[in-house]
Structure 1
Amino acid sequence: MNQSRFRGWNESVWRGCVTLLRAVFWSGSSRWTGGGPVKSALAGKLDGGKVGSSFVAQRWKLAARRPTVGQLQQPGPRRKMARRCGRATSRFTHEIEKCPIKISICAVWMCFCLIFPSAAEAGLYSASDQVILLSKENAAQVLVNSSAAFVVEFYASWCGHCVAFSPVYKSLARDIKEWKPAVDLVAIDCADRANMKVCTDFGITGYPTIKFFHAYSKPGATGQPIRGFHRDVMWLRHKIIDKLETHEEPWPPACPPLEPTSQAELDSFFETNNVQHLALIFEESGSYVGREVTLDLLQFEDIAVRRVQSTEEALVTKLGVTEFPSCYLYYPGGNFTRLKVNIEARHFYSYALQRLPGVVRSGKPPPVIKDVHINSTEEPWRLFNKSRVYMGDLESALHYSLRMELSAHPVFRGQTLTALKMYISVLVKYFPGRPILMNLLKNVETWLKQSDEEISYDAFREILDNKAQSPDAALPDGVRWVGCQSSQPHLRRYPCGMWTLFHVLTVQAKNTGSRDSQEVLNAMRNYVHHFFGCRPCAEHFENMAKESMTEVNTLTSAVLWLWSRHNRVNNRLAGALSEDPDFPKIQWPSPEMCPSCHMVRDNGEHRWNYEKVLSFLLSYFSSSSIVTDYLESESQILEKQRQKHVMQQQALETHERKAREAVDSISQPPPSEPAMQEEEEEEEEGPQDEVLADMEEEGREAAMMEAKPTPWSKPEMNEGLGRRRTGKPSIVGMRMRELPQDIVDLDSFVNQHYKVTALEMAAARVKQRSLQRKEEQEPRLVFRLGIELDAGVGMVGLQPIDANFKQRKQLQKRELTGRYFEEEAEFNQKGHWMMSVFSIGFSKLDISLCVILYFLSCMCLLAMYLYFKNCLRLRRVKVALP
C-alpha cells in the first residue's frame, strides 16, 4: 500500500482503538474507576519506550486527557454531561456493567489485531526492492558467520515513522547495489508475530532501529546501532562507510581497502596486482568520493580504485593535481592521464570507469566490439544508431505480443478480455505505425467491441491474420530486431521491444493531448499483469505500480514515471544473468546521450534535471524520430499474407479431400466382391474361352482338389438388412453345398480369411466354370462334397447330384439367406453368443447339448459302476471259521 493510504489506515485504527477503550474505561464499574490497571498498564507500556514512535505517544496522550469515570462523578457540569450521556446510552452502559472484564479483554484483543496485521498485508518491502527480507527461519543463516557485512532495519509495519522511512531505505538499497557482496541491506518486520522473538533477541525496543552487523558475526551478536539517523541516503551511505572502516578482523573478503594510498604503494602496485587500469581519486581528507567510487567498482574486473588525499604532496606534485576531487588513470612506468567527465562527482566517475576498455563485470564475458558480426542465431548483424528508435523493433514486439504471448491464453474472459481491449485500444490511438498495420489494428478493435463476453484466441488469431482478406491490412509476420539486437538469442529483444513500445505510447499520448493521464499506464499495467510471460517480472512491475502510480495525474508525470521505473528495473537487473555484456544496463540516458540531464547538488550528490529529461524523452520517442530501416515494403507484406492464405486454403482442401476419400473407402464394397459378382454373371451366361483348355490336365487338378474345401466368403449387408452379396465357392470336379451362414465367425473370418478367400476364389473361378460346362455336356452321376451342420455336430460327406440340383441349390440359398438375416438380427440384439473353433462355428444350442450328453454319460458310468460293485459284493464267498 502507498504511504498516504497507510497513514489513513493508521489514523483510523488509532481512532477506533481509542474510542473502544474509552467506552470500556468509562463503564460504570467501580472496579475500573479512574481508568484502572488497564489504562495504567498501557500508559506505562507506551510511555516507557516499548513503542518508540512519537505518533503512538501523541495518540495515547490525547486519549489520556479524556476525563475518567471518577472525574465524571464529581458535581458540576461534568456530572450533568455524564447523566445526559447516561440517558442517551443507558442500554449500552447497562450491558457493559454486566461483564466489564470480558468486554475489556475483547476490546484490547481487537485493538491488537488491528494494530498488528499480518505480514503479507503490512510488509513495507518486497523482493523487488533489493532488500533481503529477514524472518525467524533465515535470521541465523543470514547474519551469523557471513562473509558480508549487513545493515539491518528493524521496523513495525504499523509504525508511521517506519512507513515514512521505507522509501529512503529502498533508495539506499538501489544506491549501494554495487557494494555487494561487501555489504548488504536487510529488513525485518517486528510487527509480524512470527518475528517478534527474533527482534526481542536482538534487543529491539523501538522502531525503526538500524543496526550494523560485522562480517563473520558470532551467534548471539546483537549488532552495532546507527543512532541519530536522518532520512537522507547520503548520510546513511557515509555511516555505512564509517562502520566498514572500523571493521574488526576478519575483514570482509570482498571489500577492497578503503584507506588512502601513498607513492610507495603505487611504485610496486602493478607488480602485486594484475589489472589493466588503476584509477586514483584525489580528494580532501573529509571527502567520501574516493571510498564510494572504490565500492562502486567492487563488482568489476581489470580495474582498481585508490583514494589519494590532498596531503600526499609527492603524488599531487607528480601528477600536477590542482582540483579536488579529480580522477587520474595511472599505468605502469609512471604514465598517467586525467579521466574526462562532465562533472567531478561520484556518479560520473563510476560511470566512466565502468566503461573503460577491458573493464567488465565479474563473471561476464567481455563485450564483442565489431561493426559486422554473426550472432548465435546466424542472423546478420544490423548496424544501427543507439540514439534512435527503430520501427522494426516496434513491429517485432507487436508480432510476438499478439501472435505468441497471447496464444498462451486459449480463452479471453472477464479481466483478461478487458485488458486485451484496453491494450488494442491504446495501440489504435497512439501507435505510430504504417497504414497497413493501423488498418489491421482498427479491424481488431472493431471486432473486439462487437464480441461477446468470452472469445477464443483462435477467433482472435483469424482476425489478426486477416482471414477475411480486408484490403490493405496486415501485421508483419516474424521478428526483425534492430535497436534491440543482442549478442545471444535469449538476451534483450522482446523485453527491450516492449519497453520501447510503452515509451513510444506514453510520449504519443503526451504529444496528441490525451485526456486521461493514466490511460497508457493502465493498459500497460493490465497487459503485464495478465499476459506478460515472465511472472516474476510482472509481479515486480505490479509492486511498482501499486507503490506510486496513483500519484500520476498529468501526461508529463506519466512519461517521467515510466522512465524512472525503467531505470529502477535497470538498476535491479544490472549484473544479472539476463544482462547482455554488449549492452549493459545503465541509468538511462547516459551522460554521453544527454549531458544536460545530469546534475549534482551542492553536496556533490547526483540528481536528474527532470526538465531536460522530459525534453529528451519527447524528442527520442517522437514519431518523427522513428527510423524505418530494415523494414519490408507494404506490398511485400501483403503478398506474403496472400500467399499464406492460399497455402492454408490448399492445405484445407487437401485435408477435406483425404477425409472424403477415407469415408468413401469405408462405405464402398471391397474390390474383390464386384469382381466375384461379375464372374457369377458370366458363369450363368455361358462358357468362356478357358472351357476349350486341355480337359485331361483339368481332370488331374480336379482330383487333387477333391478333398479340399474352399473357404467361404463373408456375406455383407448394406444399411439395415439389405441385399447380401456373396460368391459361389466350388472345388474343381465337385460342387459344394452352401454352408449355413449362421455359424460363421465374422470377426475371425475378416481378420484371417478375407484376403485369402478373395485370391483363391478368383484363381479357382475359371477352372470351376470350365469343369461345370464339361459335366453338363456329359451327364452322369456326380458326387459333391457336402459340408453342413445339422442339429449339433457337422457331418461331412459326398452327395449325388441329380438334374434338379441347380433348382434345389437356389431354393436352399434363399432359405439360408433368410436364416442368416434372422440369426444376425438376434446376434445384434442379444450380443455375442457364438464362438469359433478351428474356423467351424458351434452354436449355443450345440454346446448345451454337448454338455448335457457329457453329463448323462457320466451319470450312466457312475450308475454302472455302482451296479457292478453291488453285484460283486453279493457274490463274494464267505468263509466260515471253525
Structure 2
Amino acid sequence: MARLGATSRFASRSRTESSALFSCLWLVLASAASAGLYTASDQVVLLSRRNVGSALVNSSAAMVVEFYASWCGHCVAFSPVYKKLARDIKEWKPAVNIAAIDCGNEENSKVCMEYEIRGYPTIKFFPAYSEADSTGVSLRASSRDVLGLRRRVIDHLEGHKEPWPPACPPLEPISQAEIDVFFETNSVQHLALIFEDVKSYIGREVTLDLLQFENIAVRRVLNTDQSLVTKLGVTEFPSCYLYYPSGNFTRLMVNYEARTFYFYALQRLPAVVRSGKPPVVLTEIHTNRTEEPWRPFNRSRVYMADLESALHYSLRVELAAREVIEGDALNALNKYVSVLAKYFPGRPTVVNLLKSLNSWLQNQTAGQISYEAFKKVLDNTAQAPNAALPEGVRWVGCQGSQPHFRRYPCGMWTLFHVLTVQANVTGGSDPLEVLNAMRNYIHHFFGCRYCAEHFENMAKDSLELVYTLESAIMWLWSRHNRVNNRIAGALSEDPLFPKIQWPPPEMCPFCHTVSKSGEHKWNNEQVLSFLVSYFDSSSILTDYLEDENQILEKQKEKHVKHRERKAREAVNPVPPSPSPSPAQEEEEEEESPQDEAMTYEEEEAQAASEMEGKSSEPTPWAQTDIELGRGRRQAPRSSRFAGMRFGKQRDDHGLQSILGMRFREKRDDIVDLDSFVNQHFKDKALQMAASSRVKQRTLQTKVEQEPRPAFGLSMELDAALGMMGLQRMDADLEVKEKRRQKRELAGQYFGRETELTHKGHWMSALSIGFSNLDVSLCVILYSLSAMCLLLMYLFFKHRLKRRRVKIALP
C-alpha cells in the first residue's frame, strides 16, 4: 500500500524524466550495435559486448532480453514474433524495454556465457536496478506467441521487488478507500476504472499502455470488490468506467470490451496528451500562423491539392538537389515518373504534363541527364498544349498545426496509397510496380535519410510476399501503420494529429474485431474494401485547387517573358568589360549590393508565390515549401575621380538610354581637368553598359518617367555622352534619343530635385555628382572648421586683452 501511494504521487514527474532518459539511451544503444536479425527499425535495443553492462546493470527500467544466434534456424523463425512483441508493448517504455544480443557473433560469445546461456533463443527478464552479477530470470512461456510473452512480462513486473521502477504505475487492484482520496493526491483529470476478474490482464495492460500519457490514470478493480461493483452497478466483466472527483461516474462506450479499444478511447479524452506535449488549441493555429491560412477540411477524405503539392515538392525541390542524375538514380526516376504517368488520377493538364515528361525520359539514351534539362520539360518550355504542373504547395488534408509537422511526408504516403489503388482499379500487370517505384525513389531521393533506411528495412523484410495487386495495397497499409507505431510520441508527431493505427473504429467500425482470446484483430477483407473506396479517384476532393486556365496562362506568360529576355540578349550582346584594378575591387567589396536584376528563376518564384497567395487550403496518416537560394548578379559600382566618389546610379531609365547604343571607332579625347565630370560620366556609362545583360528585363518593364529640370546642365550631359564614343544604331531616332538621354541622365543624377528646390538652388548646385553622404560630410566638416576658427578668434582676442591690461599697469 505504501508503494501505491508513493508511485501515485511521483508517477507524473518520473514518467517525463524517465522518457527523456530512455530516449537518449535508445539512441546510444541502437547505434552501438548491429544485430544480425534485428535493426533499430524494429524498436529493439541492440546489445553487444560494449554496451550490455550499461544497459542491464543498475537500469531504472526493467529489461527483456533475447539471447540468440543469427545462424540458428529457430531464432530466425522466432524473430518476427519478437519484433511484434516490441511493437505491441512499445508504449510501456520506459518501464519495460525490449533488447536482443547476437550470441552467434564471436565478440559476444563470452558475454552470453557469463549470463549462463545454454541454448537459443533464450529470453530473460532483468528487473530494474539489477546488480552486476545478476544473470536475469528466464521468461518461460507455454507458447512463444505475443500474448503469452506479454503476460509473462506483466507477471515478472508485478512481482518486482523494491526498488520499484520509477516510471511504472501501480498494477495491483485499487480499493474504495484509495479512490476516495485519489484526486487529493494525484493531479489528473480522468480516472479510468477497469472492472475484470482475477485472471484478466486487460486492466494491467491498459495501465501500461497509457504510461506515456498525462491527465489520465488507469486502475483495475476486481469483480470480488462488492462495494465498488455495487456502487457503480457493474454487471459486465471486463468493462470500463470513468470516475470523477465529484463522485459521479459514467461508462466508457467502445465497440469491443478489449484492450486496444480501451486504449484508443481513453487517449482521445479531453486534455489527455503525451507527456511533455501540451494540448493544441485550434484557435491558436488560426491566429499565430502567418505564412499561409488554415484551410478547413474533412479528415475522412483525400484532397487533390495534397497530391499535386507532393508532386511539385518531389519533382521541383527534392530532385533539384542533384545537378546530374545517372545510373541507378536515373533508373529510379524513370520508374517513378512512369508510374505517375500511368496511374496518377489527376486533372488533364497535370496528366498530360506527366506523360510528356515520361516520354522525354524514355527517349534519353545518354545514361545521364541534367536536372536543368529535366526542369525545362517539367516546366513545359516547349509549350505542349494543355500540359502544366502547378507550382508551389497548397496542403489541405496534410497541413499540420505547425509548419514542421506532416505536409510533404504525409503527401507522399497519400500519393503512393492512391497509386496502389489505381493500379488495382485499372488492372496493372505487375503487383510490385508501384511499390518498387516508391522504394527506389525513397532510397535515392527522399530527403530524410533515416526514414529511407527504415523503409528499406521494411521492404527487405517482407516485400517479396506481395504477389497480387490487392496484396500490394494491404502491404503498404500495414507498413504505414507500423511506421505510425514506431514514431508515435516522437518529436515529429503532430499533437493535433497523433499517430494511431488507421483507420480508427469511428471511420471503419467493421475493420476491427477481436479474437477468441480477446486480442484485437483486423478484418482484412473489410480493410481492403475500405482502402479501395477511400483512395479511389472518384472520392478525391478538388477543393482549394487553382483553376486550370489560370495555371496555363501563368505558364504561358512566364515563357513569353523568358523568350523576350533571350531575344534582347541576342540583339544586345554584352561587351567584354575591362579587368578592375585592385583599388576598384576593394571599393566594390565595401559597397553593399543594392542594384539587383530579376532573373528568370526569380520570375518563376514570383509566379509561384502569386499562385500560392491566391489559394484558400489530413489524410488520416500523415512539412513548408523549401526556398532555394538563388545567386544574384550585381550591377557595376561607381568609380572615384580626383579623390571624390560620385553617387550610385539607380535610375534604370538612365541605363535605358545606353542600351540602344553601340561602340563606334575609338578616337583620342582631350579632357581638361575642369571637365572631370564628363570623364566621370564616361566611366559610369561604360560600366552600366557592361551590366546591361543583368538590367535588361527590369529596364524594359519600367514606365518612362516625365522629363525633369536639369538645372542648365543638359549641354554638359550631351558632351559626356559624346566623349564615351557611343552612337545610335538607328539614325532616324537620333534626335528623339538625344532628348531621352538628356532627361534620363539628368533624372539619374538629380533625382532629388524636388527636395533640393525647397533647400535652395545653391544646395542643388553643391550636390552635383555627390551622394547624400558626401554632402553631409562636407557640411559637418565645414561646421567644425567654422567652430574651430571661432574658438581660435575668441582665444587670441582674450589673450590680447589681458596683455594690454598688464602694459597699462604702473
Task: Decide: shared fold, TM above 0.5.
Answer: yes
Q: Equivalences for 1:445-460 in 2 at 5 Å? A: 445-452=358-365, 453-460=367-374
Q: Distance in 2 between matches of 1:182 and 1:228?
A: 21
2:531 is aligned, of 617, 623, 628, to 617
User: Contact 1:504–1:622 (CA<8 Å) still a contact in 2?
Assistant: yes
Residue matched to 1:402: 315
What CA distance in whole angstroms lies between the structure 1 residues aligned with 2:547 and 2:493?
33
CA-to-aligned-CA distance 1:808-860 (integer Å, 9 cap, x gap): xxxxxxxxxxxxxxxxxxxxxxxxxxxxxxxxxxxxxxxxxxxxxxxxxxxxx
For 1:470, the equivalent position in structure 2 comes to 384
Correspondent of 1:513 among 416, 427, 440: 427
Q: Contact 1:375–1:488 (CA<8 Å) still a contact in 2?
A: no
Is 1:371–1:383's contact at 8 Å kept on the other side of the alignment?
Answer: no
Q: 1:443-464: per-residue Cα shift (whole Å, max 9, x none)?
A: 1111111112111111000000
Match of 2:479 in 1: 565
Q: Which residue of 2 aligns with 1:527?
A: 441
Pair 597,762 (structure 1): closer, same or farther in 2 beyond 3 Å: closer
Counterpart check, 1:344 vs 2:252: no
Task: Name 1:357's counterpart in structure 2.
Answer: 270
Distance 1:286 1:762 in 2: 104
**Alignment match, 2:238:** 325
Instruction: Find the counterpart in structure 2 of residue 165 from structure 1.
Output: 78
Indicate which of 580, 583, 607 corresponds to 2:521: 607
Aligned pair partner of 2:406 in 487, 492, 509: 492
Determine the structure 2 residue equivalent to 1:840. none
What residue in structure 1 maps to residue 765 of structure 2? none
1:436 to 349, 360, 364: 349
Q: Tell me the equivalent position of 1:149.
A: 62
SS at match of 1:373: helix
Residue 166 (structure 2) pairs with residue 253 (structure 1) = yes
1:702-747 Cα distance to aligned partner (Å, 9 max, x none): xxxxxxxxxxxxxxxxxxxxxxxxxxxxxxxxxxxxxxxxxxxxxx
Q: Structure 1 residue 127: deviation in Å?
A: 0.5
What letter is aligned with 2:56? L
**Distance across 1 between alignment mates of 2:408 and 2:35:** 35
The CA RMSD measured in Å over matched residues stands at 2.2
Write the letter of the residue equivalent to 2:368: E
Q: Distance in 1 between matches of 2:423 and 2:297?
A: 26
Alpha-carbon distance in 2 for matches of 1:762, 1:124? 83
Partner of 2:335: 422
1:469 corresponds to which letter in structure 2? Answer: Q
Q: Is residue 2:182 matched to residue 1:263?
A: no
What is the 5 A alignment of 1:157-236?
157-236=70-149
Relative to structure 1, the CA distance from residue 665 to residue 286 in structure 2 (aligned partners, 3 Å threshold; closer, same or farther) is closer
Residue in structure 1 matching 2:216, options 303, 321, 325: 303
Contact 2:33 2:47 in 1 (8 A): no
Within 2, Cα distance between the matches of 1:155 and 1:488? 44
Letter in 1 for 2:432: Q
Partner of 2:547: 633
Alignment correspondent of 2:488:
574
Deviation at 1:368, TM superposition (A): 2.1
**Cα distance change on mapping 1:120 and 1:280 into 2, 3 Å:** closer
Deviation of residue 195 (structure 1)?
A: 1.0
TM-score by length of 1: 0.61
Q: Deviations over 1:286-338 (max 9, x none)?
A: 00000000000000000100000000101101111000000000001211000
Q: For residue 451 of structure 1, what is the amino acid of its counterpart?
A: Q
Task: Tell me the TM-score normalized by structure 2.
Answer: 0.67
The residue number in structure 1 matching 2:619 is none
Residue type of the alignment partner of 1:549: L
Indicate if the aligned counterparts of 1:377 and 1:488 stay in contact, CA closer than 8 A.
Answer: no
Cα separation, 2, equivalents of 1:371 and 1:341:
31
Shift of 1:658: 7.1
Distance 1:266 1:440, change over 3 A: same
1:652-671 map, 5 Å: 652=566, 660-662=574-576
CA contact (8 A) 1:156 1:189 kept: yes
- Could you tell me how far 1:545 is from its partner in structure 2? 0.4
Query: Moved runs in structure 1, 4+ residues, more than 4 A?
Result: 119-122, 650-659, 661-666, 754-758, 760-763
CA 1:377–1:565 in 2, change beyond 3 Å: closer, same or farther? Answer: farther
After TM superposition, give the deviation of residue 643 of structure 1 in Å.
Answer: 2.3
Stretch moving more, 576-585 or 361-370: 361-370
**Aligned equivalents of 1:517, 1:623: Cα separation in 2:** 19
Q: Does residue 1:130 correspond to 2:43, yes or no?
A: yes
Tell me what 2:623 maps to: none
Question: How many Å apart are 1:371 and its aligned residue?
Answer: 11
Distance across 2 between alignment mates of 1:298 and 1:509: 42
Structure 2 unaligned segments of length 5 or more: list them: 1-31, 581-667, 678-810
Write the deviation string for residues 165-190 of structure 1: whole angstroms up to 9, x where unpaired.
Answer: 00000000000000000001000001
> CA offsets per residue over residues 661-696 of structure 1, 9 Å max, x none?
556999xxxxxxxxxxxxxxxxxxxxxxxxxxxxxx
Question: Computing the radius of gyration over CA atoms, which structure comes out larger, 1 or 2?
Answer: 1
**Conservation of the 8 A alpha-carbon contact between 2:141 and 2:149:** no
Q: CA deviation at 1:225?
A: 0.8
Give 1:647 shift: 3.6
Shift of 1:372: 7.8
Deviation at 1:226, TM superposition (A): 1.1
Deviations 1:608-643, CA, capped at 9 Å, x for gaps: 000000000000000000000000010011111122
The amino acid across from 2:434 in the alignment is V
8 A contact 1:122–1:158 mirrored in 2 = no
Deviation at 1:205, TM superposition (A): 1.4
Judging changes above 3 Å, is the alpha-carbon distance between structure 1 residues 665 and 289 closer, same or farther for their aligned structure 2 residues? closer
Question: How much identity, in percent, do the aligned residues show?
Answer: 69
* Cα drift, residue 504 of structure 1: 0.1
Q: Give the Cα–Cα distance (whole angstroms) in 2 for the partners of residues 647 and 221 of structure 1.
A: 77
Task: Supply the AA of the counterpart residue of 1:362.
Answer: S
**Aligned in 2, Cα 1:468/1:291: closer, same or farther, shift over 3 Å?**
same
Alignment check: 8 A CA contact 2:141 2:152 kept: no
Higher relative contact order (CA 8 A, sep 6+): 2
Q: 1:385 aligns with which of 298, 315, 325?
A: 298
SS of residue matched to 2:246: helix
Of residues 369-378 and 240-249 in structure 1, the stretch that sits farther from structure 2 once superposed is: 369-378
Change in Cα spacing, 1:540 to 1:755, as seen in structure 2 (3 Å) is farther
Matched, 1:596 2:510: yes
Q: Is the 8 A contact 2:195 2:223 kept in 1?
A: yes
CA contact (8 A) 1:367 1:581 kept: yes
- The one-letter amino acid of 2:129's match is Y
Question: How far 1:649 sits from its partner (Å)?
Answer: 3.6
How far 1:221 sits from its partner (Å)?
A: 1.1
- What SS does the aligned partner of 2:430 have? coil
Q: For 1:792-807, list aligned pairs within 5 A.
A: none
Instruction: Give the secondary structure class of the aligned counterpart of 1:660.
Output: coil
Contact 1:374 1:381 survives alignment (8 Å)? no
Q: Hey, what does 2:647 align to over in structure 1?
A: none
Paired residue type of 1:240: V
**1:260–1:306 Cα contact (<8 Å) kept:** yes
Q: Which runs of no fewer than 5 residues in structure 1 stay unpaired?
A: 1-118, 667-753, 764-882
